[in-house]
Structure 1
Amino acid sequence: MRDRRSFLKFGAGVAIGSVAATIPAMASTNDCGPAIKWDETHDIIIIGSGFGGLSSAINIKRSGIKSVLVLEKMLQFGGNSAINGGWFAVPGNPIQVSEGVKDSPALLVQDQIAAGRGMASEEHLTAIANRALDAFNLCVDSGVRFREGFNMLVGGHSIARAVRTVDGTGGEITRNLYKVAKSEGVDLRNQQYVEDFIMENNKVIGLKVRRNFRYPDLTTGEIVFIKANKGVVVATGGFAMNKQLCKLLDPSIDPTMDCTNAKGATGEVTLTAMSHGALAVHMNMIQTGHWGSPDEGGFGWSNALLSITWHEGMVVSVLNGKRFMNERADRKYCSDRILANRYEDNSPAYPIAFFNYNDHPDDDRVVRALRDEMAWKMDSVEQMATKFNIDPKTLQESIDLHNKHVAERKDPLFDRVMDTAKHLAPPFVVSRIWPKVHYCMGGLKTDLGCRVIGSKNLEPMKNLYAVGEATGGVHGTTRLSSCACLEGLAGGFIVAETINSDNKV
């Protein structure tokens, strides 16, 4: 049995993101000496500073636990949460209430279960959805600004319930939550690489940390041992930037796809927890974002720009100039259909997505996309057809058919909801689309209280908790848009209550 005298040790000098770096080798007891000398002690240590980590920190601190430490691997706080699109599913949000829209956590969960295709956990989704308003109010009370009057129906949802931050990024949330956490006495540290959990039998009692680590060099910094009296919360997000691990888990991942994630999303902490007996589930379910553009790297502007296209415009194949999907469906459906567009040599035939330029000439999403040349202004159907090598007659026919469906408010081809679709006429804003690896559905299995389940007895491991994308088995095959923000923020409320219950604070 590994304990505080015998723990895992990473090999030095291996690049982060490779499986070799994230699966450590056993060290001898001589590496620690007769007993670990703790460099410092805290009640709770949270690994990660995204939505889940910051919400957990604030809620745990407010619950009465005195010493809360947040460790962030990278130089910047916020992780993937800071660069996400700022969409937040909130059933019962103030805009719905003001407009008389009837919604509920149960209706959200119903949509999520349908998207999960039989693999989602209704119990976990319900626990999360029930804290949506708490999470929203935490943001508002912390100074987060949401777009006035904005409440959108996004892909896979049956009702408009997604609010969005003013700048269209999750950074509006993470920046403000960071300020609140710091002002309320949470100890937040960056450049802290967690090398291992220190165990006493099946109980987590602390962490081995490389302090002042400089990504990605594992030889930098100094090793310290930090004791956790009441528990460790894993809020490290997914592992989508660990391409070697993703390929091992899901060999079917298309190599032509980019990734939207921040560089630090490589999953070392998840793998280390697994090496200590934590149960991981759905690790091969790696979701793509169908709103990616091949004309920019990483997350980019395409997510924001295409939020217009999905509602108002249309998508056509460059192979035949015709529509081929329901633009308002969930991510898996759309990604699968986009990826099917191939030339005879199997190379990508990037579909084009477009909407009316004159409806959004000063919209920051349009201005940025045109400036960075990930989209183009096309003054005629002929110009668009020439640029993308499409038969102009067929393209015009597809637009005419779309306009007919707009007038009828019915799409007999793909059953798209046409409530926001617009009559299309040039000039157009046109972009190419191709999915990008985006979100890990798999991770550490938890109970409803965010306690990590052990693989040996399928019971909660003592003092080990997980929230957000670091967990698995929640959404099933597909996570709906705007639900990552909800899951991370809501998890902070749930885990704070659990930790207090476990420690009888």
Structure 2
Amino acid sequence: MKETEKKRSAHAGSVKSRREVLRTGALLAGGLAVGALSGCTGGENKNDLPVEKSRAPLGRWDKEYDVIVVGSGFAGMAAAIEARKTGASVLVVDKMPVFGGNSTINGGAFAVAGSPLQEKEGVKDSVDLMVQDMLKAGRGLNHMGLLKIVAAGTRGAYEFTLEHGVKFKPFLQHFGGHSVPRTLQTTISSGAGIVRPLRKSAANLGVAFRNRCKFEDFILDENDAVIGIRVKDRYEFPNEESGEFREFRAKRGVVMCSGGFSQDRRFRMMQNPRLDERVDSTNHPGATAESMQAMFGVGASPVQIDLIQLGPWSSPDEKGFGMVSQFNTIAGFPMGIMVDVRTGKRFVNELGDRKERAEAILTRQDETGKPVYPVVFCTAKGAEKAQTLKACLKYNVAWKFDTIADLAKHFGMPVEGLEEQVAMYNEAVKTGEDKQFGKPMGRAIPLDKAPFYAVRCWPKVHYTMGGVEIDTHGHVMHMRTGKPIEGLFAAGEVTGGPHGASRLGSCAVAETLVIGRIAGRNAGKRSA
């Protein structure tokens, strides 16, 4: 053990964690804090902002802030900005070498009820309609208080993003499960188009950032209020032997925005044993459960943690989130059809919610249980707004065909069956009614002009609906008392409740921004 660590151990005071009395009481001669503390700059993107490097002597704590935010995605950035706007000093920590987590690699799609673009395009929408859509997708398991706040807050969250320089495409998208087109998407088709502007604004406001700084545990006072966190500084993911322990004080509160656990195979298999190593995930490798588990350790209530969503638009021909997902959400599903290669026939509403589509796809198996990958395709006109199509073709995860017969032969489909299906679908487009599966046909176009673009499809673990219980103010609730855990707030995928059994696409950005802003604001306003 290092000499400074030995000295810390000898001075344990009234501050404690859930596992041990943490070493936070040491005050060395001359009033200097123990241990040198330097910034964690390794692995930073050259275009990223610098992380904090300075350290002032503060006695028993390595650093002190009013608010500490754990996680740097949509929720973390929104929380940090709102907390800082209250006048609080704010630190954001992230265990990964690059900031943003899943938020930087998602599609940047944001559901807004009553957006200016809807008004411009004559789309009638409302908060109540968005609530109804999310409730239907959630199979009625949504926590209504949180659900209503999310839907009601989307317009304000949208305006918040514009204030900080986020740019969206000038057209609406109709994602599966939504009654009307209400989804906006960043101009770069990525959540980085939101995270980067928000982080730049946060830094300009004076928010401090530390990457490669892994949250380890909470530090509690004698009344079990959260007063700080223990971290591993200079942490090198995923090496658990790396890093140096530090203790950071949070005088007003800690806001946990640490995300879900889609990449934590052990923990997700505890909830659903079928989601083993054979099931890929769209998430970044750091999407693991330790921060959520630490909250359970200090009494947080678990909510619906067995509800795990699979993204129905993924491809078996590429790893992770990939490029096919964006093609399917913008072109394949709304502008085309998905068929079973054994018959050439459709088997589900391509604009159904994610749970409906994923479960229908997963039943496509042969007699031995091996996947039979469905094919999604549309015309060139249907694909004209799919930004990733060119890359999909380049990397052989999408294919171009001059005739329906050529498409069928490539995938081993019965030509006659596929041609019959296309004729039936084209008639549905003409009449405006899909008698097969009830797909909304308002923006559908016929599959009658070559070329045709096709991809293969198979679900991947995408989102974890469950997490810790929070109230409508972002407080983390105690399992036994049903009251807030003092000093502890949370937002985003690490929480549970608003989405119920299945999240509608583009509602994660909505939820994380809305609740993140609320949690950060309330943490900043809390008395030190």
TM-score (norm 1): 0.92
How big is each residue's C-alpha offset from its partner over 1:287-344, in whole Å with a ceiling of 9 and x where there is no partner? 1110010011001112210021111100100122110000011000000000000011
Q: Give 2:23's aligned residue.
A: 32
Matched letter for residue 168 of structure 2: F
Change beyond 3 A, Cα 1:245–1:96: same
Q: Give 2:409's aligned residue.
A: 386
The alpha-carbon deviation at position 3 of structure 1 amounts to 9.0
Q: Does 1:453 find its partner at 2:463? A: no
Q: Does 1:152 find its partner at 2:173? A: yes
Where do residues 263-302 of structure 1 align in structure 2 (5 Å cutoff)?
Answer: 263-302=285-324
Structure 1 residues without counterparts, runs of 5 or longer: 9-25
Measure the CA separation in 2 of the matches of 1:250 and 1:406: 39
Structure 2 residues without counterparts, runs of 5 or longer: 1-11, 28-59
Q: Is the CA contact (8 Å cut-off) linking 2:226 and 2:254 kept in structure 1?
A: yes
Q: Is the CA contact (8 Å cut-off) linking 1:191 and 1:212 kept in structure 2?
A: yes
Measure the CA separation in 2 of the matches of 1:323 and 1:195: 48
Q: Is the CA contact (8 Å cut-off) linking 1:119 and 1:477 kept in structure 2?
A: yes
Q: Give 2:208's aligned residue.
A: 187
Q: Give 1:51's aligned residue.
A: 74
Change beyond 3 A, Cα 1:449–1:313: same
Measure the CA separation in 1 of the matches of 2:277 and 2:438: 31
The alpha-carbon deviation at position 108 of structure 1 amounts to 0.9
How many residue pairs are counted as aligned between the two chains? Answer: 482
Q: Give 2:495's aligned residue.
A: 471
Q: Give 1:13's aligned residue.
A: none
Q: Which moved more, 1:244-253 or 1:428-437?
A: 244-253
Q: Does 1:404 find its partner at 2:438? A: no
Aligned residue for 1:57, secondary structure, equals helix
The alpha-carbon deviation at position 100 of structure 1 amounts to 3.6
Matched letter for residue 243 of structure 1: R
Q: Is the CA contact (8 Å cut-off) linking 2:143 and 2:497 kept in structure 1?
A: yes
Q: Is the CA contact (8 Å cut-off) linking 2:265 and 2:276 kept in structure 1?
A: no
Measure the CA separation in 2 of the matches of 1:449 and 1:362: 39
Q: Does 1:223 find its partner at 2:245? A: yes
Q: Is the CA contact (8 Å cut-off) linking 1:4 and 1:35 kept in structure 2?
A: no
Where do residues 57-72 of structure 1 align in structure 2 (5 Å cutoff)?
Answer: 57-65=80-88, 67-72=89-94
Q: Does 1:124 find its partner at 2:150? A: no
Aligned residue for 1:469, secondary structure, equals coil
How big is each residue's C-alpha offset from its partner over 1:30-50, in whole Å with a ceiling of 9 and x where there is no partner? x73866931111100000000
How big is each residue's C-alpha offset from its partner over 1:450-493, in whole Å with a ceiling of 9 and x where there is no partner? 10011121111000000011101221001111110011111132
Q: Is the CA contact (8 Å cut-off) linking 1:357 and 1:377 kept in structure 2?
A: no
Q: Give 2:462's aligned residue.
A: 438
Q: Give 1:357's aligned residue.
A: 380
How big is each residue's C-alpha offset from its partner over 1:267-292, in whole Å with a ceiling of 9 and x where there is no partner? 21111111111111111000111001
Change beyond 3 A, Cα 1:263–1:33: closer
Change beyond 3 A, Cα 1:140–1:6: closer
How big is each residue's C-alpha offset from its partner over 1:95-150, in whole Å with a ceiling of 9 and x where there is no partner? 112234332222211111111112001210111222212211121111111012x1
Matched letter for residue 376 of structure 1: W
Measure the CA separation in 2 of the matches of 1:121 and 1:62: 29
Aligned residue for 1:140, secondary structure, equals helix
Change beyond 3 A, Cα 1:147–1:187: same
Where do residues 222-261 of structure 1 align in structure 2 (5 Å cutoff)?
Answer: 222-253=244-275, 256-261=278-283
Measure the CA separation in 2 of the matches of 1:137 and 1:102: 19
Measure the CA separation in 2 of the matches of 1:87 and 1:464: 29
Aligned residue for 1:205, secondary structure, equals strand
Q: Is the CA contact (8 Å cut-off) linking 2:269 and 2:276 kept in structure 1?
A: no
Q: Does 1:176 find its partner at 2:183? A: no
Matched letter for residue 17 of structure 2: F
Q: Give 1:41's aligned residue.
A: 64
Q: Is the CA contact (8 Å cut-off) linking 2:78 and 2:520 kept in structure 1?
A: no
Equivalent position to 1:487, from 497, 508, 511: 511
TM-score (norm 2): 0.88
Percent identical across equivalent pairs?
Answer: 38
